[in-house]
A and B are shown apart, each in its own frame.
Chain A
Amino acid sequence: MLSVKGLKANVGAKEILKGLDLEVGSGEIHAIMGPNGSGKSTFAHVLSGREGYEVTGGTVLFEGQDLLGLEPEERAHRGLFLAFQYPVELPGVNNTYFLKAALNAIRTARGEAELDAVAFMRLMKQKLKVLHLDDSLLKRPVNFGFSGGEKKRNEIFQMALLEPKLAILDETDSGLDIDALRIVADGVNTLRSPERSMIVVTHYQRLLDYIEPDFVHVLANGRIVRSGGKDLALELEEKGYGWIAAEEAA
């Protein structure tokens, strides 16, 4: 599904990713943990094609094809999805209109027919039901005036609608209270499937109580320094990140 080898990236003149390797198979959930400034968000943004990050080395293959040469929208067309840490507010852009435009852009790029208004509404209702969400967010402008929890729910709803092959959840737990976190995690779990891989980027182990990963990786100083099962997350929770940095230094 995703194969990252020796990925290096700069922000401005500063090297943030320093040779990152990661293999994600179909249907797997990988958690990427690490202290602040370790490069977690940079990695998420480089994968999704955000401007302002300069890739200086390495390769990223998505389903065997080079990902780094693609525009952000082309990555989405191929099935990549980034759930934002800070979803952007778009005053004046109606959420339903936005979702329909996104879905139809992806369908068009894949050579599928666009959904008309009726078919789209039917699909939305179905997805809302699956995620146990109500339709109150759909009539408002995208994320505009949404609470932190509403924004994250809107991200998960977009993910449900766009059905990506690989979803990257960038610090989805940040700024959420425990109830909101549970709702978001339930949504993510509902969307688990053998065809859908996920990369869950998080600082805290807390999220992983609700979204159980197959693999846990520790990112420090721009590289994956340790990989393991979900027990590794518990170990990090217990000991903090310091011991890994200490072992690295040793």
Chain B
Amino acid sequence: MNTSGAATAVAAAPFTAWLAPVADVLPGTGLGWLDAERGAALARVRAAGVPTSKQERWRYTGLKPLLEQAFVQGDEDVTALDPDDVEDLLIPGLDAHRVVLANGRLVPSLSWVDGLPDGVRAGGLRTILETEPELLHGRLGRVAGEGAHVFAALNTAGMDDGFVLLLDAGATVERPIEIVHLSLGMDEPRLAQPRHLVDLGEGASVTLIERYVSLGESLYCTNSVLELSLAARAELTHYRVQEESPKAFHLAGVYLSQAAGSRYHGVSVGLGAAWSRTDLVAGFVGEGAECDLDGLYLAGDGQLMDFHLDVRHDVPGCTSREGFKGILYGQARAVFDGRVYVARNAQKTDAQLSNRNLLLSRSAEVDTKPQLEILADDVKCSHGTTVGQLDPGSLFYLRSRGIPLNQARRMLCVGFAGEVLDALGLEPLRDYVAEQVGRRLESAPLD
């Protein structure tokens, strides 16, 4: 690297400026390991600077609209919330433990994670850093550390609050745990950087629902990081639904590490935000593990939705499945980049990657790029992508039965998304997402 220190500092200035208000007031400041973690992350932000379209990871996703905003990370609790505000945002009929964060801060009065079985620790990151920081030493930043992209480093540098879930070996939580991240507009555009950590001991299992919602249609930026660590034979089911405000920016990194025989099933649904980028990064560190990453994105007029998947098979005998579907209408843009890496010694790897897109308008655009990088020679790997339109014959069939054109289009879109919707194994959640998809398509322009 020949770039001068001063030049990179300037390049990264927008990001570091976002953190300025909280630089000295972050929880756990003064803890040696945590200061080192944040300091190293800040150095990575400075060194990386602002990504440009010349970088492969950012080729189709311009950062200009994001950089034009002067976001600041807040340092106050949202106190003016009452249960009624949140009520309308909940999923009808969903029985779950619930944690609510508002603008990045946990709201204790709206969060109930009591009644958890023995061997399960759950709580706010901020509280734990202030009371029992040693619980997190060696865990926080382990999976989403070096090598993650600049926004993960930015999150680490500004770690403030989030949800922490630690399961001892053999612990099981029967009811799903739902994390609702709620954003409210403030006087100045806010940056919220929730930082979640889920660490499952051997054979532990839990279902996690992660949601991003907003009150009102304000402009803000969420930059979240979720670290997932699965010990041997642990099982995690993880549903994530992004329904940010139509003006919002949403950055999310899910970083996953899987030990031998562990199973992860994730479904990621992107519906909201003006501009969003989600990175799902999974790595196997033990043999015989399984990772399913399903996803659905629905992007409408003026929306940009970018999903980057990166699955690393560094050990033999693991299975990964990536199945993403996209529906685009109006002047929507979507990016799908699915990368599967199979190391030389990762024999008997079984990896399948698929991305299918439905374009409802001529002005919608998707850039889809599946990449298999296979160095081992005894593997079963495949990939496929499609981009298509609604089938006129199917539309006519529905219309001939009296179903109006608009409704017929919605039915076929929901049908197209069907496999992913069905992967949302909780019926109230599945129905809720299907309804949200249908509702958004109601406003989709016909052309």
Q: A-side interface residues toward B, CB under 8 Å?
A: 48-51, 71-73, 75-77, 81-82, 84, 87-88, 90-93, 97-98, 101-103, 105-106, 109, 141, 158, 162
Contact = CB atoms under 8 A, between A and B. Distances in A.
User: Which of A51, A71, A105, A109: most chain B CB closer than 10 A?
Assistant: A105
A102 B394 contact: no
B439 to A, nearest CB: 16
Contact of B418 (A81, A91, A109): A91
Nearest to A101: B403
A91 to B, nearest CB: 6
Interface of B: 391-394, 396-405, 407-408, 411-412, 414-419
Contacts of B417: 92
Given A92-B416, A93-B411, A50 B396 contact: yes
A90 B405 contact: no
A94 B394 CA distance: 14
Given A92-B416, A92-B418, A162 B396 contact: no
A169 to B, nearest CB: 13
Given A90-B394, A92-B416, A92-B418, A98 B411 contact: yes
Nearest to A50: B396
B397 A87 contact: yes
Contact of A141 (B391, B403, B415): B415
A158 B401 contact: yes
Contacts of B391: 88
A72 B418 contact: no
A106 B402 contact: yes
B414 A71 contact: no
A92 B414 contact: yes
A98 B398 contact: yes
Contacts, number: 78
Nearest to B396: A50
A84 B392 CA distance: 15
A137 to B, nearest CB: 15
A76 B418 contact: no
| B interface SS class | helix
Contacts of A72: 396, 399-400
Contacts of B407: 101, 105
A90 B397 contact: yes
A165 to B, nearest CB: 13
Given A92-B415, A92-B416, A93-B418, A102 B396 contact: no
B415 A76 contact: no
B403 A73 contact: yes
B157 to A, nearest CB: 43
A105 B407 CA distance: 9
Given A76-B401, A81-B400, A93-B414, 4 more contacts: A77-B402, A92-B417, A105-B402, A105-B404
Contacts of B400: 48-50, 72-73, 75-76, 81-82, 84
Contacts of B419: 92
Given A51-B396, A72-B396, A72-B399, A90 B404 contact: no
Nearest to B394: A88
Nearest to A99: B401
Contacts of B402: 73, 76-77, 102-103, 105-106, 109, 162
Contact of B397 (A51, A88, A105): A88
29 contacts: A49-B399, A71-B399, A72-B400, A73-B401, A73-B402, A73-B404, A73-B405, A76-B399, A76-B401, A77-B402, A81-B400, A88-B394, A88-B397, A90-B394, A90-B398, A91-B415, A92-B414, A93-B411, A97-B411, A98-B411, A101-B407, A101-B411, A102-B401, A105-B401, A105-B402, A105-B404, A109-B402, A141-B418, A162-B401
Contacts of A91: 415, 418
8 closest A-B pairs (Cβ-Cβ)? A92-B418, A92-B415, A76-B402, A102-B401, A93-B415, A72-B399, A106-B402, A88-B397
Contact of B392 (A48, A51, A103, A158): A51
Nearest to A107: B402
A226 to B, nearest CB: 29
A77 B401 CA distance: 8
B418 A105 contact: no
A218 B397 CA distance: 27
A228 to B, nearest CB: 30
B64 to A, nearest CB: 37
A108 to B, nearest CB: 9
A73 B395 CA distance: 11
A157 to B, nearest CB: 12
A141 B418 CA distance: 10
